[in-house]
């Protein structure tokens, strides 16, 4: 229906200023409230709908949405809903927060205000990929908003970049004019964001968000999915981009049952994990892929998933035209009959389509759809008087309820049992392409089938089975995996074959059809004591116990569990099609290693650790002389230069470089793994600068590196706020050193140690960690700034006496190869940094 041109609406208690947006479902106006606050008002007119029922349904959606919107920060608040009439034209309206300006953010100027949306962000980026962190953060926020909507029984139905606005810098889901009860199947939405099964469901909203993420992460149009970006991703972002791309592909797969992410809450969790690059309790299967292998496999898979390009064929002109200015375009496809849409998503007809006249030099954009095939793009700049474009449509596996075609072009129709059966008997052309046709004896015979006369292949039963076996094998290239689908041959035994020679009817030759049946998965029930064990089937991660009804394909599998503190459990599991297997609860055997389950855990050197979080244990004290000496003896390296004072075995080692400390950690990791004190996903290392702050109790710091953070004023000291300290809180340069270095001490403070002290002699902090404020300055893994030749130490030492050197936020710039009598180190035990389980073993390195 053509849109009317209307004047500004009259909204109670609002001064309507100017129109700032609009579309098929209403107009958006900027208005000023009686409190002098700028708002956005959406007005939806009855005359823009074909009938009352549709108009009222959309109004009911707004009424349901209003109270829900205020409960989630990712939804634009609806402040007021009203209904009115101007003359004989009825409308309803709702007042919303006004989004940020595309240029000035929250600083709004009425005259030139333009809302900041995801679409405007993409345009301003020059259609280049947006930052991975921004994509993941905004995606998590919007998926959280959708999860909230879905939990209230509502669906958005039009998730797209222009409907994501920014309010105070945060992405919010807006334009909720299409919000309705979930599973309302009226066809609404925007082409390319609507899944093949149609709009209206929670899963359709998630699919649309996946396409939004695709546009953000690649800079390409959603109709180009799954093509890769035109320009390379920056190297620091590549691993997280690969993780995000994998999530996008598993959200936007055209095959519903192949989509991994159909739940908005689940998608929110995995996007949040990518944004934070958080370490989690995730282990790497010994038989799993390495990161490099996974990345290569993903790259190959992404390239293999690209639609086949359109093949350009130049037709012979039917007439001679000098200096042509127009081109006549015809589009056809294999198979024919594909629906064709223009670049704006408007339906044009079916292939073959045309000829249609265009100016030479113009770029034409089409999108083709065909049941059982991936949507195919066609984008071409015209350069001839006559152009014919042939598009090869790529098949995808048979979906229940939808027609499907195999690579031979045979049509399969859905059956009530969710299988697919060829609509016609297999013909001699199709059969003749298989190796089974090389054996003599089969015949091509004219048969009347469903009133249509056509040639049919009459074959032996063995030839029919061989054909189907070959068809199944070749169909794997189209994604019809043989462990997921079963191909059957069905012979026509009692058909009424008019005109068939008697000798063939009396022979063993019979025509046949092909049935494709999805293999029914079995289900596995499995639990362990204690729960939370990681479960692998044939080396692939499946989740943590308890597993309640895990769906798996039939066959024999190797099941293995992993859990810190317990021995691996392994067994063989055989599941038949459709069978439910319940394994009795397995009591896991505890081990003496696996530190995360044991409070105050000690390693084989006697170093004691406390838990900072589920991924990091911290040594209670600094690395001792006795610890380092075992490293020296084992590696036959030179001992550190001895200090000018006497040290005992339980004093912190000094005069070590940062590289010395790193090599000690590498040696200790190897030693402990060999002794089975830690697992292959555990690793000793130096703490990072931020981790050291966290260990010391710092809650917040600003800056991208130690140099920048050093200028941020963190209040207090590792022992508290007093200076000079009133009690013996740390080994510092106190008055006990006054006779040796007068003027370089904290007068009035005496800790009793002129040089280094035994580790752990002073009270620990709340975490249970000793000597963060004194004894020795501790190496961390970070360089002080962008120059790797400069290292960083944290914490005070027995030599320090000034406030600036002893405050918790202090950092000291030290050459990475430097040593000193006040320099030592502390180690942490970390789980190898990996991304959350939902990414299917795809790992992300944290460069920090």
How does pLDDT run across 67-99, given as a tens digit for each residue? 888 778 889 888 888 888 877 788 889 898 899
Res. 46: pLDDT tops 60: yes
Residue-level pLDDT at 283:
34
266-320 pLDDT, tens digit each? 898 888 878 765 333 333 333 232 222 233 233 323 323 333 223 232 333 333 3
Examine the domain organization and report whether 57 and 201 are in the same domain: yes
CB 812 within 8 A of CB 805: yes
Helices of type H across 640-783: 658-674, 689-695, 706-710
Confidence of residue 592 (pLDDT cuts 50, 70, 90): low
| Averaged pLDDT, 496-505 | 79
Residue 454 has φ and ψ, to the nearest 5°, of -155, 160
Residue-level pLDDT at 23:
63
302 found inside a domain: no
108-142 pLDDT, tens digit each? 888 888 899 999 989 888 888 998 889 999 999 99
Res. 2: pLDDT tops 60: no
CB atoms within 10 A of CB 331: 25
Distance in angstroms (rounded) separating the CA atoms of residues 545 and 179: 38
Known binder of ligand: residue 630?
no
Point out the least confidently predicted range of 311-320, 540-549, 613-622.
Answer: 311-320
| Averaged pLDDT, 602-608 | 91
- CATH code for the domain of 355: 2.60.40
Examine the domain organization and report whether 581 and 616 are in the same domain: no
Residue-level pLDDT at 680:
80
Examine the domain organization and report whether 501 and 560 are in the same domain: no
Which class for 756: exposed (0-12), middle (13-18), buried (19 or more C-beta within 10 A)? buried
Per-residue CA distances from 722 to 600, 747, 776 (Å): 29, 14, 20
Residue-level pLDDT at 318:
37
282 found inside a domain: no
| Averaged pLDDT, 449-470 | 87
What b-and-e string marks burial along 720-753, b requiring 16 or more CB atoms within 10 Å of the CB? eeeeebeebbbbbbbebbeeeeeeebbeebebeb
Sheet with 353-359: list strands edge to edge: 311-313, 386-392, 326-334, 353-359
Q: Which of 276, 292, 324 is the last residue of a domain?
A: 276
The string of DSSP letters for 550-591 reads: EEE-SEEEEEEEEETTEEEEEEEEEE-TT-EEEPPPEEPPB-
Distance in angstroms (rounded) separating the CA atoms of residues 493 and 431: 18
794-804 pLDDT, tens digit each? 999 999 999 98
Distance in angstroms (rounded) separating the CA atoms of residues 431 and 464: 9
7 found inside a domain: no
Of residues 429 and 565, the one with the higher pLDDT is 429
104 found inside a domain: yes
- CATH code for the domain of 546: 2.60.40.2070
Range ranked top by mean pLDDT from 108-122, 366-380, 441-455? 108-122
Point out the least confidently predicted range of 240-254, 330-344, 632-646, 655-669.
Answer: 330-344
Provide the domain limits for residue 152: 14-276
Task: Kindly state the percentage of the chain with pLDDT values over 90.
Answer: 36
Task: Read off the tokens for 365.
Answer: 């954009």
Examine the domain organization and report whether 513 and 529 are in the same domain: no
Examine the domain organization and report whether 334 and 219 are in the same domain: no
Examine the domain organization and report whether 568 and 606 are in the same domain: no
Q: What is the pTM assigned to this prediction?
A: 0.42
1 found inside a domain: no
User: Is 274 in a helix, a strand, or coil?
Assistant: helix
102-114 pLDDT, tens digit each? 888 888 888 888 8
CB 482 within 8 A of CB 473: yes
Helices 238-251/132-151 angle, 10° precision:
30
Say how many domains are in the chain: 5
- CATH code for the domain of 636: 3.90.1580.10
Examine the domain organization and report whether 373 and 481 are in the same domain: no
690 found inside a domain: yes
| Averaged pLDDT, 733-738 | 85
404 found inside a domain: no
Residue-level pLDDT at 420:
92
798-841 pLDDT, tens digit each? 999 999 899 999 999 999 888 999 999 999 999 875 333 333 33
Examine the domain organization and report whether 692 and 774 are in the same domain: yes
Task: Read off the tokens for 329.
Answer: 């375009």
């Amino acid at each position: 229906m053509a849109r009317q041109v209307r004047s500004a609406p009259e909204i109670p208690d609002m001064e309507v200023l100017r129109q700032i947006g609009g579309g098929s479902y209403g107009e958006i106006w900027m208005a000023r409230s009686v409190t002098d606050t700028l708002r956005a008002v959406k007005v939806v007119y009855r005359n823009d709908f074909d009938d009352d029922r549709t108009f009222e349904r959309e109004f009911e959606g707004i009424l349901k949405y209003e109270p829900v919107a205020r409960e989630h920060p990712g939804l634009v608040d609806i402040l007021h809903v009203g209904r009115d009439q101007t003359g004989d034209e009825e409308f309803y309206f709702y007042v919303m927060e006004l989004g940020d300006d595309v240029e000035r953010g929250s600083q709004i100027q009425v005259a030139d205000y333009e809302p900041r949306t995801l679409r405007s962000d993409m345009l301003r980026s020059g259609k280049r990929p947006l930052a991975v962190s921004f994509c993941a953060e905004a995606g998590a926020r919007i998926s959280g908003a959708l999860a909230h909507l879905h939990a209230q029984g509502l669906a958005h139905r039009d998730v797209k970049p222009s409907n994501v606005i920014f309010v105070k810098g945060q992405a919010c889901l807006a334009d909720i004019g299409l919000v309705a009860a979930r599973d309302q199947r009226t066809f609404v939405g925007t082409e390319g964001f609507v899944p093949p099964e149609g709009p209206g469901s929670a899963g359709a909203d998630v699919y649309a968000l996946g396409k939004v993420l695709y546009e953000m992460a690649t800079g390409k149009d959603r109709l180009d999915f799954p093509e890769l970006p035109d320009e390379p991703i920056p190297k620091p972002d590549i691993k997280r981009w690969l993780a995000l791309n994998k999530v996008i592909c598993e959200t936007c797969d055209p095959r519903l049952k192949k989509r991994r992410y159909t739940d908005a809450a689940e998608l929110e969790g995995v996007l949040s994990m990518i944004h934070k690059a958080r370490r989690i309790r995730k282990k790497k299967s010994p038989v799993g892929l390495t990161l490099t292998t996974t990345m290569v496999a993903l790259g190959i898979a992404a390239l293999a998933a690209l639609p086949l390009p359109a093949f350009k064929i130049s037709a012979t002109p039917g007439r001679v035209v000098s200096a042509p200015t127009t081109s006549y375009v015809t589009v056809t496809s294999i198979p024919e009959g594909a629906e064709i849409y223009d670049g704006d998503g408007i339906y044009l007809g079916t292939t073959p389509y045309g000829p249609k006249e265009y100016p030479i030099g113009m770029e034409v954009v089409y999108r083709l759809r065909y049941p059982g095939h991936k949507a195919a793009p066609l984008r071409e700049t015209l350069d001839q008087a006559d152009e014919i474009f042939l598009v090869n449509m790529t098949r995808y596996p048979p979906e229940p309820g939808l027609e499907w075609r195999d690579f031979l072009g045979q049509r399969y129709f859905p059956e009530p049992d969710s299988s697919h059966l060829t609509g016609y008997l297999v013909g001699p052309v199709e059969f003749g392409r298989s190796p089974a046709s090389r054996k003599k004896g089969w015949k091509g015979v004219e048969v009347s089938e469903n009133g249509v006369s056509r040639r049919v292949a009459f074959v032996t039963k063995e030839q029919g089975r061989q054909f189907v076996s070959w068809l199944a094998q070749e169909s794997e290239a189209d994604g019809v995996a043989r462990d997921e689908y079963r191909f059957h041959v069905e012979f026509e035994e009692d058909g009424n074959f008019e005109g068939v020679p008697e000798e063939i009817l009396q022979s063993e030759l019979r025509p046949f059809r092909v049935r494709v049946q999805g293999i029914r998965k079995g289900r596995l029930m499995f639990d362990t004591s204690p729960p939370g064990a990681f479960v692998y089937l044939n080396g692939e991660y499946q989740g943590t116990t308890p597993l309640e009804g895990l769906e798996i394909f039939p066959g024999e599998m190797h099941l293995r569990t992993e859990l810190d503190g317990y021995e691996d459990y392994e067994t063989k599991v055989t599941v038949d099609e459709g069978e439910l297997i319940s394994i009795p609860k397995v009591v896991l055997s505890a081990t003496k290693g696996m530190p995360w389950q044991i409070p105050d855990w000690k390693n084989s050197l006697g170093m004691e650790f406390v838990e900072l979080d589920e991924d990091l244990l911290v040594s209670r004290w600094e690395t001792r002389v006795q610890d380092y000496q075992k490293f020296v003896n084992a590696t036959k390296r030179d001992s550190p230069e001895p200090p000018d004072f006497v040290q005992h075995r339980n004093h912190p080692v000094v005069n070590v470089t940062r590289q010395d400390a790193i090599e000690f950690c590498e040696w200790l990791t190897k030693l402990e793994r060999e002794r089975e004190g830690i697992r292959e996903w555990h690793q000793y290392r130096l703490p990072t600068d931020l981790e050291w702050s966290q260990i010391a109790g710092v809650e917040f710091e600003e800056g991208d590196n130690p140099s920048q953070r050093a200028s941020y004023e963190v209040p207090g000291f590792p022992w508290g706020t007093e200076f000079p300290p009133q009690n013996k809180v740390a080994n510092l340069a106190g008055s006990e050193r006054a006779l040796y270095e007068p003027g370089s001490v904290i007068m009035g403070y005496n800790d009793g140690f002129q040089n280094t002290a035994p580790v752990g002699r002073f009270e620990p902090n709340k975490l249970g960690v000793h000597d963060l404020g004194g004894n020795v300055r501790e190496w961390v893994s970070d360089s002080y700034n962008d120059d790797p030749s400069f290292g960083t130490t944290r914490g005070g030492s027995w030599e320090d006496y000034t406030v600036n050197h002893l405050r918790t936020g202090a950092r000291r710039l030290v050459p990475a190869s430097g040593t000193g009598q006040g320099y030592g180190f502390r180690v942490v035990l970390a789980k190898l940094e990996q991304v959350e389980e939902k990414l299917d073993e795809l790992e992300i390195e944290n460069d920090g």
